[in-house]
Amino acid sequence: MDHLFTVMANRIAGWAGQPFAFIVAAFSVILWALSGPVFGYSDTWQLVINTSTTIVTFLMVFLIQNAQNRDAVALQAKLDELIRATRAARNQFIGIEHLTEKEVDMLRVELEEQYGEEEGEMPPGHAALKRLLARR
């Protein structure tokens, strides 16, 4: 079941991200709008577009979340492998994605302080930006 969902989610998400999918969606909305006079702009006419877009949006949220989750896990696995394979890297960083947001933020602050950014000297992140720009 999991494999079937992954294959289906990949195909649908891949198709939904194509320009053709946007054209189909835009054409559908235009066709619906043009049919308004035929149906007298009735409540049922309005309900068709409301229901259709709600259902599509509801289902796409799950497909997009699934794709993002898989991408995030794959990226973390790749980063963990790079950390593991790099002699100078600290292996303690492997798996930090399982920490709470507060713990990760504390780690970030500690790392910035170790790198030489003094607290209160610059706005948060400013020194990191300055270091990145200096690398050019």
Give the whole-angstrom CA distance, residue 98 versus residue 78. 15
Please give the pLDDT value at position 113.
Answer: 78
Please give the pLDDT value at position 27.
Answer: 97
Is the pTM of the predicted complex or chain greater than 0.75?
no
Angle between helices 43-85 and 19-34 (to 10 degrees): 170
Give the whole-angstrom CA distance, residue 116 versus residue 127. 9
Please give the pLDDT value at position 51.
Answer: 97
Residues of the chain with pLDDT under 50: 119
Q: Token pair for residue 34?
A: 């043009």
All structural domains of the chain with their residue ranges: 2-97, 99-136
Please give the pLDDT value at position 135.
Answer: 65
Please give the pLDDT value at position 10.
Answer: 87
Kindly report, residue by residue over 31-60, the tens digit of the pLDDT. 999 999 999 999 999 999 999 999 999 999
CA R_g for the chain: 24
Do 93 and 83 contact (CB within 8 A), yes or no? yes
